[in-house]
Amino acid sequence: MFVVLASQWDEQAAALVRDWSGARLLTPDDLSLPGWVFCSSRPQKAIIVAGGEPLPVAEISGVFTRLPQVMPHELIRIVPADRAYVAAEMHAFLLAWLTSLQCPVVNCPSPQCLAGPAWGRERWVYEAAMLDIPVVEVARASAGSPSSLMPGEVVTVVGQTILGTPNEQLRANAARLATGAKVTVLAASFQDGALLSASPWIDIADATIVEALASHFSVVENGL
């Protein structure tokens, strides 16, 4: 069973689950249902609730995370005064649960983001520069607004698969950045061969990306 962790308003995630047989959607709403059991000394025996139904962790073969953090406004079952606290608690719990899993989790969460590193454009550019990848300089000032990002050439990394460009240099640089950032999936944006920015948010409305993702989980699952 695959689990896709996403916002209840993430239509692309819902569509992915509909298309993938054996996948189940887990949203923050599921955390307000009885049935969750997570014991720190026996995380492999945990039981979660996904799609409103209990699911033993032992039956989960992979998790795809699309949720950066639990947002208070999504917790419509919770009284407004408690939403910020409950969101922090749910986020903290999901981090502990996701990092306890033995199965592949894409991307591995970080304490600040459940879907990978919580990096802004400055950090992605910094990491790329450290890897000697050409970069487009980014400037921020407290007195101004963040500069709008020009659309670039997006290269998508899904495990060992690189999509979006035949340019070998861009493919190699996107793959190196993903490896350096310790992420499995990455969308890297380039302009004239230099990195503009990157993020863990790959376009799952793109059928080729979804196919690569399914293939990645299958490869990992089968140990090929």
Partner 1 sequence: MSILLWGLANDPPMAAVKEALDVLRAPYLFLDQREMAETRVTLTVGRTIAGFVECAATRLSLAEITAFYLRPYDTRRLPTVAEAGEDSQLWRHALQTDEILLAWADFADALVINRPSSSASNNSKPYQATLIEAFGFAVPDSLITTDADTVLTFRSHHRDVIYKSISGVRSIVARFTDSDKSRLADVAWCPTQFQEYVTGRDYRVHVIGDEVFACEVISEADDYRYASRGGMPVEIRRASLGSGVESRCRMLAAGLGLPVAGIDLRRTPSGRWYCFEVNPSPGFSYYEHATGQPLALSIARLLMQASPS
Per rule CB under 8 A, is residue 99 in the interface with partner 1? yes
Task: Report yes or no: 15 and 23 within 8 Å, Cβ to Cβ.
Answer: no
**Of 15, 58, 88, 149, which lies in the binding site for partner 1, with binding defined by CB under 8 A?**
88
CA 123 to CA 162: how far, in whole Å? 22
Pairing assessment for the beta strands 185-191 and 194-199 based on DSSP bridges: antiparallel
C-beta closer to partner 1: residue 139 or 207: 139
CA 185 to CA 162: how far, in whole Å? 10
Tell me, residue by residue from 186 to 215, as one string, x for binding to partner 1 by CB under 8 A and - for no binding: ------------------------------
CA 64 to CA 127: how far, in whole Å? 24
- 44-73 residues near partner 1, rule: CB under 8 A: 49
Cis peptide before 107 (omega within 30 of 0): yes
Per rule CB under 8 A, is residue 90 in the interface with partner 1? yes
CB of 149 to partner 1, least distance (A): 14
Let me know if 148 is exposed, middle or buried by CB neighbors in 10 A (0-12, 13-18, 19+): exposed
**Of 18, 45, 73, 140, which lies in the binding site for partner 1, with binding defined by CB under 8 A?**
140
Contact footprint for partner 1 (CB under 8 A):
31-41, 49, 77-78, 85-86, 88-93, 95-96, 99-100, 110-112, 118, 120, 122-123, 125-126, 129, 135-146
